Amino acid sequence: MIGDIMSVSRLRMGTDGRGVVTLVAFFDCPLRCKYCINNFCHEDEFGGIPRYSYTPEELVDVLKKDDIYYKMSGGGITFGGGEPLLQSAFIHEVCRIADPEWKMRIETSLNVPWRCVEPLTDDIDEWIIDVKDMDMKIYKEYTGVGIRNLSNNLYRIRECVDASKLHVRVPRIPDFNDDEYVAFSVKRIKDILGVEPEVFDYIIPSTLAAKK
Ligand code: SF4
């Protein structure tokens, strides 16, 4: 089994969860967000790393280098992208052979078929879910795809993952939603999951801001 990994970024703090974190970013994403912060994920290569270059064992060997930092800080591994859930079988294998003390987190749009979510429901300590917007029209305009998988998965994940592990984020997206729509999204998330989402201002990447 091979992971299609775009980058492995070590010793991160304050951006991808508690403690010292290694961010493992995967290629590919089913969304096409207008202000994608990580457009490289749609490309054929990134930073000279060939695609499909890590087995689970090879990745864990890299992750082990910071073992002591994870354990001392309550940190661990954050899987991001792109959309990491497209490679959930690979991530499941990494979690299986990794040190159980490492905290496993995933940053996801959750807009994938449920079969991509299910293998990880017992593996992940924190689900960082960026829902974009819960209004179906705005969602389609911003991401280029429909909201159906996300909506279905929110209902399904609440049945098998404890609410304390769900960290939902609702961005204020320039030109796409406003306080009224954000309030609507917050209410939908509370109604479905029973958790209070984090609202934040999305900062447009400087390369895209220059084109506006
Ligand atoms: S979900 Fe993330 S990686 Fe995918 S298109 Fe949107 S911003 Fe880019």
Q: Is the pTM of this model over 0.85?
A: yes
Calculate how far, in angstroms, residue 31's C-alpha sits from the geometric centre of ligand 1.
6
User: What are the residues facing 129 on neighbouring strands?
Assistant: 108, 168
Q: Is the CB of 38 under 6 A from ligand 1?
A: yes
Comparing C-alpha atoms, which of 136, 133, 134 is closest to residue 171? 133
Domain boundaries, the chain: 5-209
Strands 21-26 and 5-12, by their bridges, are antiparallel
AA identity, residue 53: S
The CATH homologous superfamily to which domain 5-209 belongs is Aldolase class I (3.20.20.70)
* Atom of ligand 1 lying closest to residue 130 CA: 1
pLDDT along the chain (212 residues), means of 10: 93 91 96 92 78 91 98 97 97 98 98 98 98 98 98 98 98 96 98 97 79 64
User: Does residue 190 line the site of ligand 1, with CB under 6 A?
Assistant: no
